[in-house]
Amino acid sequence: MRRDSTNRCRLRVYFGPEDDGGSAVLTQAAETQNRVTVPVGEVLSLLVEATKSNRGWVRDFEDDEITLSTDLYEVLLAYEHFSRPSA
- Would 2 be classed as within a structural domain? no
12 against 55, higher pLDDT = 55
- Would 19 be classed as within a structural domain? no
Domain range holding 71? 40-82
| pLDDT tens readout for residues 54-68 | 999 999 999 999 999
- Would 87 be classed as within a structural domain? no
- Would 46 be classed as within a structural domain? yes
Residue 16's alpha-carbon distances to 13, 19, 30, 61, in angstroms, are 9, 9, 12, 27
> Looking at this protein, which amino acid is placed at residue 71?
D
Domain count, the chain: 1
Average pLDDT over residues 14-20: 68
pLDDT above 80: residue 52: yes
The rounded radius of gyration (Å) of the Cα atoms in the chain is 22
- Would 45 be classed as within a structural domain? yes
- Would 68 be classed as within a structural domain? yes
Q: What is the pLDDT of residue 55?
A: 95
- Would 4 be classed as within a structural domain? no
- Would 5 be classed as within a structural domain? no
This prediction's pTM: 0.53
